[in-house]
Amino acid sequence: MLEDVTVTCPYCWETIALELDLSRGDQTCVEDCPVCCAPILVHYTVDDEGQLDTLTVARENG
Ligand SMILES: [Zn+2]
């Protein structure tokens, strides 16, 4: 199940769209910002019903 979400890029502060695959459960991945091309560390968790629980984004280098 794919979930479309919008997040704020932690580098350029633009709002960008991401597509998360919730069927794979909790994930940590790196997505390149489509605006500034910086690597965004994306972490999300999925609840017992397969719904998006928490979503956080951070700079890859912390
Ligand atoms: Zn960006």
Which residues, chain by chain, have CB under 5 Å from ion ligand 1? 9, 11-12, 33, 35-36
- Give tens-digit pLDDT for 6-54: 999 999 999 999 999 999 999 999 999 999 999 999 999 999 999 999 9
pLDDT confidence bin for 62, thresholds 50/70/90: low
Domain boundaries, the chain: 2-59
Rounded distance between C-alpha atoms, residue 38 and residue 9, angstroms: 9
- Tokens standing for 9? 């890029």
Helix (H, G, I), strand (E, B) or coil at 24: helix
CA of 35 to the centre of ligand 1 (A): 5
Residue 45: the pLDDT is 98
Helix (H) or strand (E) holding 16: strand 15-21
